[in-house]
A and B are shown apart, each in its own frame.
Chain A
Amino acid sequence: MVTELPKTDVVIVGAGWTGLAAAKELADAGQRCVVIERGDWRHDASNFGAPEEHDELKYARRKEHMIDTPIKTLSFRNNSDQTALPMRRLGSFLPGKGLGGAGIHWNGQLWRPLPSDLEMRSHYTERYGEGILDGMNIQDWGMTYDELEPHLDFFDRVCGTSGVAGNLNGETQEGGNPFEGPRSADYPNPPMKASPPLQVFRDTAEQMGYNPFHMPSANVTRAYENAYGAQLHPCTYCGFCERFGCGYFAKADPIICIYDVVKDHENFELRMNSQVLRVEKSSDGKTATGVTYIDEDGREVFQPADTVCLNAYALWNVHLMLVSGLGTPYDPQTGEGTVGRNYAYQTIAAAGVFFDDNVWSNPFMGAGALGMTIDDFNGDNFDHTDLGFVGGGYISANQTNGRPINYQPTPPDTPSWGAEWKQAVRENYLHHVGIVCHGSSVAVPGNYLDLDPTYKDAYGQPLLRMTFDFPENDRKMSAYVLSKAEEIARNMDHVRAVSTVNRAAEGESYSVVPYQTTHNTGGAVIGSDPATSVVNRYGQMWDHHNVFVFGACLFPQNLGYNPTGPLMGLAYWTLDHMKNDYLQNPRPLMDA
């Protein structure tokens, strides 16, 4: 027996960054919004305060803020010749649950896409000729950087982003990223401090002719009132960002930046502990009629709505489309269909730098976005002629934490246990920094998402099945960018040893076991051609015009940057078109 509730204007699936942004913007525009969230209510003040939150075992190792795999997980395989198995423990990536979603346990590294990233196919084929993208599903995003810029800028003012602008209205600025697209306004807040290892990285990179700059950070550097009037506090460099909530009101998150200013709105309603099972369609299949979910009392409930917004995590948005029959599932045999197509990841490699006693890192003073970065080998910021790959990544010396269980850096050839290992940890704990190569990920026909034929979740629905391995292009890219990072590391002063790790090394398959990054992208991509995208350039489904899709599932291929900045730019772009065009006259905003 399904209970049918009174109709609302908009139903929003998920109360993370995009869901709460949608609720705030649409509620202000007079739309009655119901937000449905699978997890618990929580708040920075009452739930994330130290010392309880600074429990590395509970939150970093046992991952209490993340999804519960016995209830919701996916199955995984490297290629379609294998049989996928369920991921029973979290590893490579960490989707969140609860109010604020994964926006609670992020690091706060807040980037923008390069202008050429958004027109990747056009840009590369124009510069290098058509053949360079052979074998890849590289696509344009369907909008330009200039179109997205006002929305990227707005999100900077929601988060109080800190940094040094590299390009203000077309003028290159000293100390910033010279490769970035033009900013219409400076960063709202000054950059973070630079710890000694970051200063050494900066000096060395400069001497080598590169362009180091402070990583853009949503760890707020001074008291700040955001675009919605919320008050954010300065970061104390406590070293508990990633995998933790911030009790200091200093890491921008969806609760303190948006929820607090929309929670009392008459058009806003939040339903916690409610699992959306599917989006329902009209009898002609052309529109959605609402969503069916299991409420906190275990009842199956239908919430009718004029407009449906999918704001779950990238993977779960795709899963919801597949189990609801929205759009056409991707068929890797024929290359037709779009839902599940162009799944991509992030290609991570890193160099570890071990200093002598002249450089003290004191890693316990850190922050999620405390980094010194070069962008010289990201995107198409360097000449790809004859390199045999496209894309790249930023190289960044990051000082995020010195937590006792996980942060035990030892130089190469140190035994993994025993007296020598202990001695090495003692000697190196205060004299180490990691340099990450945060690489892009191209979309290829063999990497995709679909429904598992065997395994089901706690609600009886087939699991999402991920088929993924690092494309050859990205293996070459990763080796190249890592070689540049290693070169910088070896050129640094006071270095005793350098270690390297490359997750996409030749001959090694991608593994879901070791943590890499929670940057799963694609599967419901944005574009201007219905044959290769699930939603049009406004984020509206081609097949069902009252369904709007948000998040990193929209990325046609993954950038060399962290996804939160770009996906929030897309979210505000979509909301702008909903508020100022669609809602007055609901219809397809582009002709299929």
Chain B
Amino acid sequence: MKLARTAILAIASAGLGSVAVVQAQDSGAEAPEMNELERRLGVDSVLFNATIEEEPDDDLLELGRLVAMGSSENGGSGMACITCHGVDGQGDGSGAFPRLDGQPGWYMYKQLQDYASGDRPNRVMSGIAQRLTEREREAVSAYYAAMAAGDLDRAHGDLEGTLLQWGGQLAAVGSAEKGIPACVNCHGPQGTGLPPSVPYLAGQYAGYMELQLELWKEGTRDNDSMDVMSTIANKMTEEDMRAVSEYYARVSNPAGEGAEPAGEYDLPSAE
């Protein structure tokens, strides 16, 4: 029963994906220029976000860009990241594929490791991750981590206000009744994540987050270090999951936006 359900979800995701690729291309998004990414690394928080084993340099970012476009040492991952995750890392708009732009590099690198080993089972991603070398996993993670996580210019569907309010409550203070700790405990006060290990939720696709909560609840996904998420998802109903996912999808994500290299501020002049 559990396997069948997972398979259906995977097929559904793939189906949605193929439709949405067109949308992504229509949106006219462009890959960020390399010198733009390098400039962003002048800010400590961005540099920390993008650092995995060592600080990223030109070579690593360039390799990351190549992997994202579908090239690799082993003759390619078989699929370019941008096909589903977009050249700007913002997904394809469908919600089936998560945004990667500005997510913590170490977090994404660990996901690739776990996809490859099967610790995070996924039909599509396992094969892709297995065909990448260690260095390529690190490079493509650093590449996406160095991007700004800007707000999506996409419409959200209409929802009942009470559902969003409930989602906001779960995010901010959890539920004493159900024994659910608040999301902000680990994902940060604004849902912008806690690098290197905790991803942002603010501005992520609702459909993706809802599916992950379901996978955690059913035990298909259990690859966070303490298995904290399964314990939390176990206490959530489908409505709770939908509410909190729809809520966070609508939260503005300021992380990385407008990051300027340090030293450009004017100091108040001494009288």
Contact = CB atoms under 8 A, between A and B. Distances in A.
Given A50-B185, A50-B186, A51-B188, A45 B231 contact: no
A247 B181 contact: yes
A233 B233 CA distance: 11
B231 A234 contact: yes
A333 interface: no
B228 interface: yes
Contact of B181 (A51, A248, A260): A248
Contacts of B175: 45
A51 B192 CA distance: 13
Contacts of B186: 50, 236, 248
Contacts of B182: 45, 49, 247
Interface residues of B, number: 22
A531 interface: no
B234 interface: yes
Interface of A is mostly: loop
A222 B180 contact: no
B226 A249 contact: no
Contacts of B227: 222-223, 234
Contacts of B188: 51
A236 B176 contact: no
B231 A50 contact: no
A235 B174 CA distance: 17
B179 A260 contact: yes
**Size class of the A contact interface (CB-based, 8 Å):** 20 to 34
Interface string A228-255: 0011011110000000000111000000
A123 B10 CA distance: 67
Interface string B171-191: 011111001111011101100
B235 interface: yes
Contact of A45 (B179, B189, B226, B234): B179
A260 B232 CA distance: 16
A46 interface: yes
A418 B188 CA distance: 34
A46 B172 CA distance: 8
B230 interface: yes
Contacts of B185: 49-50, 247-248
Interface in A215-235: 222-223, 230-231, 233-235
Contacts, number: 64
Given A231-B234, A249-B179, A46 B174 contact: yes
A45 B181 contact: yes
Residue among B175, B188, B228 with most chain A CB within 10 A: B228
A125 to B, nearest CB: 48
A256 interface: yes
Interface string B158-202: 000000000000001111100111101110110000000000000
Given A46-B174, A247-B185, A248-B185, A256 B228 contact: no
Nearest to B182: A49
A44 interface: yes
Contacts of B231: 223, 231, 233-234, 249
Given A233-B232, A234-B231, A236-B228, A46 B181 contact: no
Contacts of A50: 184-186
A141 to B, nearest CB: 36
B228 A231 contact: no
Contacts of A249: 179, 181, 231
A384 interface: no
Interface in A247-270: 247-249, 256, 260
Given A51-B188, A51-B189, A247-B185, A235 B176 contact: no
A236 B226 contact: yes
Contacts of A46: 173-174, 176
Which 3 residue pairs across A and B have the least CB separation, nearest first?
A45-B174, A234-B226, A43-B176
Interface of B: 172-176, 179-182, 184-186, 188-189, 226-228, 230-232, 234-235
18 contacts: A43-B176, A45-B173, A45-B175, A46-B176, A49-B181, A49-B182, A51-B188, A51-B189, A223-B230, A223-B231, A234-B226, A248-B181, A248-B186, A249-B179, A249-B181, A256-B179, A260-B176, A260-B179
